[in-house]
């Protein structure tokens, strides 16, 4: 059962991914506005769920894929590995924010990290620029991420070079 549960979709509906980013942005604004720094741990759990299972165990992912994205028209498919990588970056940022609050007791650390997260979540949600996907592409071109990680990405970048 764990094998069926763990895994990230490939391809991913870009409309659902942008909806998730919008939800992350809204939750981040809530956290920043209320200064409930403990909520960075909740955000981190959401990113962990999406890294491990895509939208399966993420309430935000379920809302995006089952309710919002279908109402935005036909899916626009994009490769999954860069989106998973981006979710991993979100996990690292929100985990660092939670550690900053719970372990260090600093409000500055989560505020700065969540401010950064908000910028990138808004970029993806509003204009469709996925900074994690951009970084994934650069790391693939440098050979740090192997082409086997995303055959569709390697094929697209080989054609555009």
Task: Please check the confidence at residue 154 and state whether its pLDDT lies above 80.
Answer: no
Strand partners, 13: 77
pTM: 0.91
Task: State percent of the chain over pLDDT 70.
Answer: 93
Q: If you search the block for the tokens 């993806």, which residue do you land on? A: 124
- Please list the residues that pair with 95 across neighbouring strands: none
């Amino acid at each position: 059962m764990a094998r069926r549960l763990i895994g990230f979709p490939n391809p991913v509906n870009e409309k659902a991914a942008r909806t998730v980013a919008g939800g992350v942005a809204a939750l981040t604004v809530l956290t920043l506005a209320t200064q409930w720094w403990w909520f960075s741990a909740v955000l981190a759990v959401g990113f962990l769920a999406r890294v491990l299972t895509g939208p399966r165990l993420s309430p935000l992912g379920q809302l995006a894929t089952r309710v919002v994205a279908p109402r935005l028209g036909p899916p626009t498919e994009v490769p999954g590995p860069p989106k998973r990588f981006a979710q991993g970056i979100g996990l690292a940022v929100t985990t660092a924010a939670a550690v900053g609050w719970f372990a260090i007791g600093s409000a500055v650390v989560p505020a700065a990290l969540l401010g950064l997260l908000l910028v990138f979540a808004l970029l993806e949600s509003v204009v469709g620029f996925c900074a994690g996907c951009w970084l994934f592409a650069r790391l693939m071109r440098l050979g740090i991420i192997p082409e086997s990680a995303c055959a569709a990405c390697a094929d697209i970048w080989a054609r555009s070079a």
